[in-house]
Amino acid sequence: MDCSSREDSLIRCYSSSPPLSLLTKSCPTDRLAKVTCHKYLTDEVTATLKSSLPNTCGSRGNTFGHLNLWSNLAKIIGGNIQERSAHPWLVTLLLREDGKLKHNCAGVIISDLYVLTAAHCFKTHRSTAYVVRAGEHALSIDEGGEQDFNIDKLFVHPHFDVTTEFNNDLAILKLEERIRFNHFVQPACLPDPNKYGLDYHNYHELSCTIVGWGTLSERSPPIPHDTPRGGLVSLYPSETCVGSNKYSRDEVTTGMLCAGDLNGTIDTCTGDSGGPLVCTSSSSSSSSSSSSSSESFLLGITSWGKGCGRVGSPGLYTKIVKYLKWISEVVG
C-alpha cells in the first residue's frame, strides 16, 4: 500500500490481538491495514513555501520567443537548440574529473539557495564532487554571467529507491552561496497543490516542455550536447504507460509522472536527469502563492525511462506536487 502526500501514516492492525507494541489503532474486523488520512496541510505547506521561496518566479528573459518553444515538436534527442534565456532555472551539475568540469546531470533553481534535482545523480558521486553552475548555455565556451557554486548540504529524499527503483527520485541541494538572479538566471515556480494534485484530471490544460544537455539518441556515447535542447511533451495517466512493451505496474509509483510521446518522438536521454518538466496552464486563475497560472511552474524532474525515444515508453518524471511537504520542511 502506497501513502501519498495527502496521507500521514500507514497503520498496521490485526483482526486478532497482536503484541501491544504493534497495535497502534483498532481496525474493522478482518482488515489488516488501513491508511490514516488527515486533512492535507495545504495551507501550512503553501505558507512555508511562500515565506521561504521568492515571490517572483517562473519568468523567462525577454529574448525568449513564445512561438519558438510552443511550436517546437522536436524531441530533446534531436530537437532544436534553446535560447539562453528560455529556461533560466536550468542548471548543470558538473563533475570534477581529471582536473576538468564535466556535465553529468541537470537541476532546477527554486530559490537563491536551493536547487532541485534527481536523487540518483548522487548514487555513485558525493556532493563534494559536483559544481552547480547557473546561467549556463554552451558547455564548451564562457559566454559571461555563469555562476558556479559548491554544495553546502545534500538532502536526498529519505525514501529514495524504497520498494521500487527510482521511487522518490528527488534531492534538494543547498548551495554555499546565494545565486544572483538576472536575465539568464531565475527560479522556477512550484505547482499549486490544490489544483495539480496526485490525480490527472487537471493536467489536460497544461502545455509542458522538457529541456537538457542530454545525448541525442539512445545509441550515442554518453557525451552531452553542447547546448540545451527542448521540446513539447504530452502528459499521460499512469495506466497509459503500463502494459506490454511499456512499464510494469510495479515500476510506476504515485510519485512518478509519465510524459513524452507514445510514438517515441519526444523524450529525454542520458545527461538530462534532474532537469525540469515545466508547464504553463491555460487557466486564468490560481489560488496558490507558490505558482502563477500566467507563468511557468515545475511539474516534474527528469528521472528515468526505458532507453530513449522508444515507442510506447515515455519518460518518467518525479512528480513534484507529491513532495511539496518535504520540500517545505527542508527549505522552511
Q: Which residues pair with 175 in a beta bridge?
A: 151
Q: Is 152 a catalytic residue?
A: no
How close are the terminal C-alpha atoms of the chain, in Å? 29
Q: Is 125 a catalytic residue?
A: no
Three cell numbers written together for 109:
533553481
- The active-site residue out of 87, 103, 111, 169 is 169
| Residue 36 CA to its chain's centroid (Å) | 27
Sheet holding 100-109, edge to edge: 147-149, 130-134, 90-97, 100-109, 114-117, 171-175, 151-156
Query: Could you give the dihedral angle defined by the CA atoms of residues 115, 176, 47 and 296, in that order, rounded to the nearest 10 degrees?
Result: -30
Of 226, 214, 191, 207, which Cα lies nearest the Cα of 305? Answer: 214
Neighbours of 249 (CB within 10 A): 11
- The active-site residue out of 103, 120, 157, 225 is 120
Q: Is 199 a catalytic residue?
A: no
Measure the CA–CA gap between 255 and 265, rounded to whole angstroms.
24
Are 66 and 34 spatial neighbours (Cβ–Cβ below 8 Å)? no
Query: Could you give the dihedral angle defined by the CA atoms of residues 135, 141, 145 and 149, in that order, rounded to the nearest 10 degrees?
Result: 60
Three cell numbers written together for 183:
536575465
SS3 43: helix
Of 136, 143, 153, 54, which Cα lies nearest the Cα of 102? Answer: 136
Measure the CA–CA gap between 236 and 208, rounded to whole angstroms.
12
SS3 234: strand
Active site residues: 120, 169, 273
